[in-house]
């Protein structure tokens, strides 16, 4: 959807992001998301590829204008996947329930 290759995240010991203990499938992790998530998250780089969550924010705080861009991209992807036959209208309707 975003045009980037993301699939696995390294599991590392606290404070030692250069030591890989295991990895997790990020797409499996997204299956646990619920509708209770806020619009955005502000993160800060901790160095060496690690990130720290600073805070979450809603669309009313979207001063950078990300929401309209993300919405347009999401709708374009749904349309593209429908045209390619990767999803059906029935699946989209079921997801809306």
CA distance 47 to 89: 43
Query: Is the predicted pLDDT of residue 10 greater than 80, yes or no?
Result: yes
Same domain assignment for residues 73 and 86: yes
Same domain assignment for residues 80 and 90: yes
Same domain assignment for residues 27 and 2: yes
* Boundaries of domain holding 53: 38-63
Q: How many domains does the chain have?
A: 3
Q: Residue 9: pLDDT band by 50, 70, 90 thresholds?
A: confident
CA proximity to 30, closest of 55, 60, 6: 6
Same domain assignment for residues 48 and 24: no
Residue 83 has a pLDDT of 97
Same domain assignment for residues 21 and 44: no
* pLDDT tens figures, 41-82: 888 887 766 778 888 888 888 888 888 988 999 999 999 999
Residue 4 has a pLDDT of 60
Same domain assignment for residues 23 and 48: no
Determine the number of helices (DSSP H) and then strands (DSSP E) in the chain: 3, 4
Residue 17 has a pLDDT of 81
């Amino acid at each position: 959807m975003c045009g980037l290759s993301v699939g696995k995240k390294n599991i590392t010991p606290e404070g030692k992001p250069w030591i890989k203990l295991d990895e997790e499938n990020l797409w499996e992790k997204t299956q646990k998301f619920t509708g209770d998530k806020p619009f955005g998250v502000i993160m800060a780089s901790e160095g060496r590829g690690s990130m720290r969550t600073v805070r979450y924010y809603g669309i009313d705080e979207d001063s950078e204008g990300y929401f309209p861009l993300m919405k347009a991209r999401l709708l374009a992807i749904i349309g593209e996947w429908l045209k390619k036959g990767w999803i059906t209208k029935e699946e989209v309707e079921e997801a809306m329930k």
